[in-house]
A = this chain, B = another copy of it.
Amino acid sequence: MTERTPSRRTTATAPPAFPKPGHNHARCAAEALGKAEAVCAARGTRLTEIRRQVLETVWQSHVPVGAYEILAQLNAGGGDRPPSQNSRALTARGGPPSQNSRALTARGGRHAPMAVYRALEFLMDNGLIHRLASLNAYIGCAHLGEDPHAAQFLICRRCGTTAELKSAALNRALDQAVTERGFTIDSQLVEIGGICPNCRPNHRRPKS
């Protein structure tokens, strides 16, 4: 929200790069998790096991992931962490596993959708992830630790990779266009679909 004039020239030719296919993503994820812990510590909120698992799942890649996919991975034991030992709270009822097609409960698995949605809500409230309305999916925040920000997203329709933009110039243009009409901004949603540089081989990149 705070627009600061850069004391140093923002390099017009070297904006933050779009995530590249071969980049060291383990490092992305590890950094994100580390920063997330710091953010939570600073805010006095608790990055519990399930929240951390969901965050890790979101950070598996730069492709947004849906809530029910997160749920499936959690219940499949996904991620590199051991599953919760809280299995005693599972179906100890002794009944046969009902194969209800709408079985939302964790009869055979572990978690119900609520668990995921609660974790997602927590992560969003703490600025650790964003929701992409055009995809009904979630992605890790690329600007952890910065002020709560209104972000823009570039979504590649080919590989799914999504980059967070956070362009001050764009925010200025937006603010001006909107204020002209007497409107006061609370929230913004900017999601741009298209082809990312990695998926467009003919694209000439100034530096690589």
With A186-B195, A187-B193, A192-B189 already in contact, the answer to whether A181 and B133 are too (CB < 8 A) is: no
A165 at the interface (CB under 8 A from B): yes
Cβ-defined contact, A189 with B15, below 8 A: no
State in angstroms the CA–CA spacing of A200 and B182 once bound together: 9
**Interface size of A as a range:** 35 or more
Q: How many copies does the complex hold?
A: 2
Which parts of A170-208 form the interface with B (CB within 8 Å)? Answer: 170, 172-174, 176-178, 180-197, 200, 203, 205, 208
Name the residue on B nearest A165 (C-beta): B177
A18 at the interface (CB under 8 A from B): yes
Selected from B12, B180, B186, B188, the residue in CB contact (under 8 A) with A15 is B180
In angstroms, Cα B192 to Cα A180, docked, is 14
Interface positions, chain A 108-136, Cβ under 8 Å from B, are: 133-134
Q: Is the CB of A200 within 8 A of B188?
A: no
Q: Is the CB of B157 within 8 A of A186?
A: yes
Binding site for B on A (CB under 8 A): 6, 12-13, 15-18, 133-134, 152, 154, 156-157, 163, 165, 167, 169-170, 172-174, 176-178, 180-197, 200, 203, 205, 208
